[in-house]
């Protein structure tokens, strides 16, 4: 079974940094889309960033461009989201997800096939 375990969330002041990790098991990376999504209270889950497991192609939503960096470690079957210069608007539950088909390459919710449980990120002002 595919399992994704997200970790690294916490409480941080505005301007601070956090690094999220997503440890995967139950599948082998093979041209898959590894993603991070977030859901703030009262809002829909939105895409944050994705990376292709094979060629490293990345996508970032506009609001995190230049502040967040996604990366992956194939050997550890883990991907990361380095979040710098955090703002209160980044407060949300962050979810990692994997897309096994070409639909995932658009880095949208509908393209993801498996999800991990979320990790809370809270940014205080």
Average pLDDT over every residue of 26-41 = 95
pLDDT surpasses 90 at 49? yes
Average pLDDT over every residue of 88-115 = 94
Strand blocks (E) in 1-125: 3-7, 10-13, 18-25, 33-39, 46-52, 58-60, 68-73, 78-83, 92-99, 114-115, 119-124
Output the pLDDT for position 17: 98
Output the pLDDT for position 102: 87
CA 54-102-32 angle, to 5 degrees, is 30
Percent of the chain with pLDDT over 70: 100
Average pLDDT over every residue of 96-118 = 93
CA–CA dist 6, 68 (Å, integer):
16
Two tokens, residue 89: 């608007």
């Amino acid at each position: 079974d595919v399992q994704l375990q997200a970790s690294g969330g916490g409480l941080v002041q505005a301007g601070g940094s956090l690094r999220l990790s997503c440890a995967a098991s139950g599948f082998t990376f093979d041209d898959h889309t590894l993603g991070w999504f977030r859901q703030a209270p009262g809002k829909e889950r939105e895409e944050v960033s994705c990376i292709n497991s094979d060629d490293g192609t990345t996508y970032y939503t506009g609001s995190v461009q230049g502040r967040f960096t996604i990366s992956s470690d194939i050997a550890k079957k883990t991907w990361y989201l380095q979040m710098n210069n955090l703002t209160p608007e980044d407060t949300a539950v962050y979810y990692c997800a994997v897309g096994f088909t070409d639909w995932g390459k658009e880095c949208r919710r509908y393209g993801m096939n498996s999800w991990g449980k979320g990790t809370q990120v809270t940014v205080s002002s």
